[in-house]
A = this chain, B = another copy of it.
Amino acid sequence: MDYPEALEELVESLQQLPTIGPKSAQRLAFWLLETAEPKALRLAEAIRTARSQIRPCRRCFNYSEQELCQICSDPQRKTGVLCVVVQPKDIVALERTREYRGGYHVLGGLLSPLDGIGPDKVRIHELLQRVREESIAEVILALDTTVGGEATCLYLSRQLGTDASVTRLAQGLPAGGNLDYTDEVTLGRALRGRRRVEDLSPQ
* Chain A residues engaging chain B, CB cutoff 8 angstroms: 1-7, 9-10, 12-14, 16-20, 24, 26-35, 37, 39-51, 53-54, 63-65, 69-71, 87-89, 91-92, 95
Among A39, A42, A50, the one with the most B-chain Cβ atoms within 10 Å of its Cβ is: A50
Cα separation A7 to B3 with both chains bound (whole Å): 32
12 contacts between A and B (CB under 8 A): A1-B70, A2-B70, A3-B92, A6-B49, A6-B54, A6-B65, A9-B50, A16-B42, A18-B27, A33-B54, A33-B63, A41-B48
A63-B4 in contact given A18-B27, A27-B19, A48-B44 (Cβ < 8 Å): yes
Closest 8 A/B residue pairs (Cβ)? A44-B47, A13-B46, A44-B44, A10-B46, A10-B50, A13-B43, A4-B65, A1-B95
Cα separation A16 to B42 with both chains bound (whole Å): 10
